[in-house]
C-alpha cells in the first residue's frame, strides 16, 4: 500500500493506493478517509486517450506536428533562448506542478537566464489574496487551517462555492453544522453551498466592498470593536475610522441589493457568534478591486479582534493542489523566491545563494501582461508548463492574437488536448500525477508528498528533469546537478531560511519524513498578535467601491458569473475523459433566471448565443430561480468561456476581472 495525496484541488486529501485502487486515507488528518468523485477516479486520468506521449515539433502553427527526439527538442529551446535577450523570454507555470518543479524552473529563469517573467496560473485565482495578506500582515500567510472550523461558531463564505470546489472540506462543514456551526453564504447565485447555509445573502455582483464596509461601520457605531486589539496590534485605526464613517451608508446598502432585514440578520449572527472564520475564493479575488475586496473583509477580523485565536480568522481558499507551493517557492512574477520581494538586499541574498549574478532587478510580467506584451511584439520565447492559458486567460480572441505573435512557444504538458497546443511550436510530454513524485502545499499550509503509483510512460519526463536538461543545454549544468526531486527539496529547504525571519520553516521537516506524514509550515505565527510589518502591527486600510468593472447596459444587460461544477476540473482535459465523471453534469449550459428568460424570449433548454463586447459562444439556456436577475452563470468547464470575459486587471494583484463581464443572451434561431 502506498500513501499519497490527491492532485486535484487545494483541500489536498490523503489517499491510499493498493492493487490498482484508490481509497481515502483514514489516518490523514484533513480528510479522515473521505475523498470526492474526482479524487477517487484520479487513476483513470493517467490512462486517458489524450495523453501526450512523445515530443512533437513544427516550425509554424500551420504545419502538422512531427515527432522529435528529446535531445533535438531541448537543444532547440536552448538555441532560441540564447538567440534573444532575457526580458523577451517568459515562463508560464502552474499550480499543478510539484514544488520541486516550481523551484528549479524559477531558479533557471530568474537566477540563470535572468528573466523576471516567471508567472503562474495561480495569478488568475488568488493573487489578490496574496497581495492583501502582505499589505495587512507583512507576509503571505494564511492564518487559518481547515481544522480550525471545528472551533468556530460562525463560518462566513463570500464569493465561494466550496460545496462544489472543495468538496471534502465542505463535508466537514456540513458535519459541524450538526454540532451548532452557523454558516452564512454571500453570493449572487444560490449555490450548492448556499443550500446548506443558515443565512443566504443574495448580494449584487461587485458590491462586496460596500457590504463589508457597512458591517465595519456598524461594528464601530455599536461599539462592538475590540479596542485593545486595535490599539495594541493594528496601525491607523483612528484615521481608518474617520474615513470609513464618511461613506454614504444608504447608498452602500442600495448597491448591495440586500434588504435592511437581511443586513440586520447578518449583524445579529456576527454579534451572537463569538468565534468567526471567513472563507472566500474567486468571487472576491477575480476582480478589478480584488485586493480591496480582500482587505474590506479582513478588516472585519481586525476590528472585532476575531483573529489569532482558534476558530477565528480570514481563510483564503485556493483552488489548485499546489497553488500555495508556487507562492512559497517564488513562482509569481511579483516576487523573487521563498516569499522574498524584489529589493537590493534580497536580490543580493538570492544571487549569493544560487551562486549567480543574473537575478533580475524587479518584477516581471504577470500572466495576462505576458500576453499583452506579446501583442506588442515584445516576447520571443514562451515556455508554458502544465497549464492552458489560451483556455483560461480572459479575452480569448486577444490572447489568441497575442500568442501568434510569439515566434517560439513551448508547451510542457501531460495531455495532448489543451487549447493552447494549437498555438505551440514544440510540445514536450511530461509525467502526470501518479507517474511522478514531489511535494505539494494545500490551502492550509500542509505539505504532503505525492508518490509514484504507476510506471512512467516511456518517453515522458518529470518537469524538474525537463528544466534540468534545459539548464545543462544552456551551460548551467553545474548549478543544477540534481539526481532526484529530494535533492531539489533539500536545496529549497535551505533557501527557506532566507525568508522573512525564517517564517517559511519548511527546513524543519525532511523529504523522508514527508513520506510518512505531512508537515504544516508556519504553525502559530500570529499567536502572539505580532505580525511581519516593520512595527509588528497589522495595517488597517479604508477601501471603497470604485465600480471599475464593466457596467451592464442596454446592449449587454447581464453580468456573467463563472465558477466550478463539482465533478469536473477546469477544462476537463483530465476529468472529461474519465467515464464515471463524464456522466455527472452536462458541461454546456448557461443559467438564467426564468423571469429574465421570459423578458428576453429565452426558453428553458433552448439553444442560445451568449455575446459580450469581445466575442460570442453557443450554449443551452437553463432556468434557475436561484440566480439573481440580470446575472447569468456559465461553468468554467466550458472551454470557450473566455471568448466572453474581460481582461481588465486589478492594479496591484494583476488578477483578471473574470466575474464581472457584461453579456447578452440571444436565441440561436433569431
Interface contacts to ligand SF4, rule CB under 6 A? 6, 8-9, 11-13, 31, 35-36, 38-39, 167-168
Q: Do 381 and 88 meet the contact criterion of CB atoms below 8 Å apart?
A: yes
Q: How far is the CB of 9 from ligand SF4 (least distance, A)?
A: 3
Write b or e for each residue in 327-336: b if 16 or more Cβ atoms lie within 10 A of its Cβ, otherwise e: bbbbbbbbbb
Cα–Cα–Cα angle for 343, 308, 521, nearest 5°? 55
When the beta carbons of 439 and 645 are compared against ligand SF4, the nearer one is 439
Distance, in Å, from the CA atom of 428 to the CA atom of 51, rounded to the nearest integer, reads 11
Q: How far is the CB of 31 from ligand SF4 (least distance, A)?
A: 6
Question: Partners of 612 in the beta sheet?
Answer: 615
When the beta carbons of 22 and 219 are compared against ligand SF4, the nearer one is 22
485-337-139-657 Cα dihedral, nearest 10 degrees:
-100
When the beta carbons of 12 and 429 are compared against ligand SF4, the nearer one is 12
- With both helix axes pointing from N to C terminus, report the angle between 99-106 and 463-473 in degrees, rounded to the nearest 10: 20
Q: How far is the CB of 163 from ligand SF4 (least distance, A)?
A: 11
Q: How far is the CB of 91 from ligand SF4 (least distance, A)?
A: 26
When the beta carbons of 167 and 215 are compared against ligand SF4, the nearer one is 167
Q: How far is the CB of 280 from ligand SF4 (least distance, A)?
A: 18
Q: How far is the CB of 504 from ligand SF4 (least distance, A)?
A: 23
When the beta carbons of 9 and 337 are compared against ligand SF4, the nearer one is 9
Q: How far is the CB of 4 from ligand SF4 (least distance, A)?
A: 11
When the beta carbons of 4 and 286 are compared against ligand SF4, the nearer one is 4
CA distances from 290 to 65, 75, 655 (A): 40, 41, 7
Question: Partners of 235 in the beta sheet?
Answer: 539
Task: Please report how many Cα atoms fall inside a 13 Å half-sphere around the Cα of residue 589, on the Cβ side.
Answer: 16
Q: Collect all residues with Cβ–Cβ distance below 8 Å to 204 and sequence separation of at least 6.
A: 188, 255, 256, 257, 628
Residue among 172, 444, 164 at smallest CA distance from 317: 444
Four-residue CA torsion sign, 374, 379, 381, 384: negative
Q: How far is the CB of 10 from ligand SF4 (least distance, A)?
A: 7
When the beta carbons of 46 and 131 are compared against ligand SF4, the nearer one is 46
Q: How far is the CB of 434 from ligand SF4 (least distance, A)?
A: 13
Four-residue CA torsion sign, 172, 174, 176, 178: negative
Q: How far is the CB of 38 from ligand SF4 (least distance, A)?
A: 4
3-state secondary structure of 14: strand
Chain CA centroid to CA 229, Å? 31
DSSP conformation letters of 339-392: TBPSSHHHHHHHHHHHT-S---SS----HHHHHHHHHTT--SEEEEES--HHHH
Q: How far is the CB of 271 from ligand SF4 (least distance, A)?
A: 33
* Other beta carbons less than 10 A from residue 250's beta carbon: 8
402-407: long-range contacts (C-beta < 8 A, 24 or more apart)? Answer: 402/371, 402/372, 402/374, 402/375, 403/371, 403/374, 404/61, 405/374, 405/375, 405/377, 405/379, 406/374, 406/379, 406/380, 406/381, 406/382, 407/80, 407/380, 407/381
Q: How far is the CB of 555 from ligand SF4 (least distance, A)?
A: 39
* Shortest-Cβ-distance residue relative to ligand SF4: 39
Distance, in Å, from the CA atom of 316 to the CA atom of 281, rounded to the nearest integer, reads 6
Element (H, E) at 590: strand 590-592
Q: How far is the CB of 282 from ligand SF4 (least distance, A)?
A: 16
3-state secondary structure of 405: coil
When the beta carbons of 145 and 593 are compared against ligand SF4, the nearer one is 145
When the beta carbons of 10 and 290 are compared against ligand SF4, the nearer one is 10
Enter the DSSP assignment of 453.
-
When the beta carbons of 431 and 446 are compared against ligand SF4, the nearer one is 446
When the beta carbons of 8 and 482 are compared against ligand SF4, the nearer one is 8
User: Which residue matches cell numbers 505573435?
Assistant: 405
Distance, in Å, from the CA atom of 172 to the CA atom of 175, rounded to the nearest integer, reads 5
When the beta carbons of 32 and 150 are compared against ligand SF4, the nearer one is 32
DSSP conformation letters of 507-560: GGS-HHHHHHS-EETTTTTTTTS--SSTTS-EEP--------S----SSS-EEE
When the beta carbons of 39 and 485 are compared against ligand SF4, the nearer one is 39
When the beta carbons of 21 and 355 are compared against ligand SF4, the nearer one is 21
DSSP conformation letters of 636-655: TTSTTGGGTS---B-TTT--
Q: How far is the CB of 97 from ligand SF4 (least distance, A)?
A: 16
Amino acid at each position: 500500500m502506498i500513501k499519497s495525496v490527491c492532485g486535484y484541488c487545494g483541500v489536498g486529501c490523503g489517499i491510499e493506493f493498493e492493487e490498482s485502487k484508490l481509497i481515502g486515507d483514514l489516518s490523514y488528518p484533513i480528510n479522515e478517509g473521505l475523498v470526492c468523485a474526482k479524487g477517487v477516479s484520479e487513476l483513470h486520468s493517467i490512462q486517458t486517450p489524450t495523453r501526450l506521449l512523445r515530443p512533437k515539433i513544427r516550425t509554424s502553427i500551420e504545419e502538422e506536428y512531427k515527432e522529435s527526439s528529446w535531445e533535438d527538442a531541448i537543444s532547440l529551446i536552448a538555441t532560441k533562448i540564447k538567440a534573444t535577450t532575457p526580458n523577451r523570454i517568459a515562463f508560464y507555470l502552474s499550480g499543478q506542478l510539484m514544488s520541486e518543479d516550481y523551484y528549479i524552473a524559477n531558479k533557471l529563469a530568474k537566477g540563470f537566464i535572468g528573466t523576471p517573467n516567471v508567472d503562474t496560473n495561480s495569478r488568475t485565482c488568488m493573487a489578490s489574496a496574496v497581495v492583501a495578506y502582505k499589505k495587512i500582515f507583512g507576509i503571505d500567510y494564511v492564518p487559518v487551517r481547515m481544522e480550525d472550523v471545528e472551533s468556530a461558531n460562525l463560518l462566513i463564505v463570500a464569493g465561494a462555492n466550496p460545496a462544489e470546489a472543495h468538496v471534502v472540506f465542505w463535508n466537514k462543514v456540513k458535519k459541524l453544522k450538526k454540532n451548532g456551526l452557523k454558516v452564512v453564504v454571500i453570493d449572487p447565485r444560490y449555490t450548492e453551498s448556499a443550500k446548506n447555509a443558515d443565512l443566504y445573502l443574495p448580494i449584487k455582483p461587485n458590491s462586496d466592498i460596500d457590504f463589508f464596509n457597512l458591517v465595519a461601520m456598524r461594528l464601530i457605531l455599536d461599539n462592538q470593536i475590540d479596542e485593545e486589539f486595535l490599539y495594541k496590534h493594528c496601525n491607523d485605526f483612528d484615521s481608518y475610522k474617520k474615513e470609513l464613517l464618511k461613506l454614504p451608508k444608504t447608498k452602500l446598502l442600495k448597491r448591495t441589493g440586500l434588504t435592511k432585514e437581511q443586513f440586520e440578520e447578518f449583524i445579529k449572527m456576527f454579534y451572537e457568534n463569538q468565534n468567526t472564520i471567513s472563507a472566500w475564493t474567486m468571487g472576491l479575488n477575480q476582480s478589478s478591486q480584488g485586493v480591496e475586496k480582500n482587505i474590506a473583509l479582513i478588516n472585519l477580523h481586525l476590528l472585532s479582534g476575531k483573529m489569532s485565536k482558534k476558530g477565528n480568522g480570514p481563510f483564503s481558499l485556493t483552488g489548485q493542489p499546489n497553488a500555495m507551493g508556487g507562492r512559497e517557492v517564488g513562482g509569481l512574477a511579483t516576487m523573487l523566491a521563498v516569499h522574498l520581494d524584489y529589493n537590493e538586499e534580497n536580490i543580493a541574498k538570492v544571487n549569493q545563494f544560487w551562486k549567480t549574478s543574473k537575478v533580475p532587478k524587479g518584477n516581471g510580467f504577470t500572466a495576462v501582461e505576458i500576453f499583452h506584451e506579446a501583442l506588442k511584439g515584445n516576447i520571443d520565447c514562451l515556455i508554458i508548463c502544465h497549464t492552458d492559458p489560451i483556455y483560461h486567460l480572459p479575452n480569448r480572441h486577444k490572447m489568441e492574437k497575442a500568442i501568434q505573435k510569439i515566434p517560439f512557444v513551448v508547451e510542457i504538458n501531460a495531455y495532448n488536448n489543451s487549447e493552447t497546443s494549437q498555438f505551440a511550436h514544440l510540445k514536450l510530454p511530461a509525467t502526470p500525477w501518479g507517474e511522478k513524485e514531489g511535494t505539494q502545499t494545500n490551502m492550509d499550509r500542509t505539505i504532503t508528498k505525492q508518490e509514484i503509483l504507476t510506471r512512467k510512460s516511456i518517453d515522458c519526463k518529470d518537469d524538474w528533469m525537463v528544466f534540468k536538461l534545459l539548464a545543462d543545454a544552456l551551460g548551467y549544468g553545474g548549478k543544477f546537478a540534481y539526481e532526484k526531486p529530494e535533492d531539489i527539496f533539500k536545496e529549497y529547504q535551505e533557501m527557506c531560511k532566507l525568508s522573512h525571519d525564517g517564517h517559511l520553516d519548511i527546513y524543519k521537516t525532511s523529504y523522508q519524513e514527508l513520506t510518512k506524514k505531512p508537515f504544516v509550515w508556519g504553525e502559530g505565527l500570529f499567536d502572539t498578535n505580532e505580525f511581519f510589518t516593520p512595527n509588528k502591527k497589522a495595517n488597517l486600510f479604508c477601501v471603497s467601491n470604485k465600480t471599475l468593472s464593466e457596467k451592464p447596459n442596454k446592449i449587454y444587460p447581464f453580468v456573467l458569473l463563472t465558477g466550478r461544477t463539482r465533478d469536473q476540473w477546469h477544462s476537463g482535459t483530465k476529468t472529461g475523459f474519465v467515464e464515471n465523471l463524464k456522466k455527472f453534469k452536462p458541461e454546456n449550459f448557461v443559467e438564467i433566471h426564468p423571469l429574465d428568460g421570459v423578458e428576453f424570449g429565452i426558453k428553458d433548454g433552448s439553444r442560445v448565443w451568449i455575446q459580450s463586447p469581445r466575442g460570442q459562444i453557443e450554449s443551452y439556456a437553463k432556468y434557475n430561480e436561484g440566480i439573481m436577475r440580470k446575472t447569468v452563470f456559465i461553468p468554467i468547464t466550458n472551454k470557450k468561456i473566455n471568448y466572453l470575459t474581460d481582461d481588465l486587471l486589478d492594479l496591484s494583484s494583476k488578477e483578471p476581472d473574470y466575474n464581472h463581464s457584461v453579456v447578452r443572451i440571444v436565441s440561436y434561431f433569431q
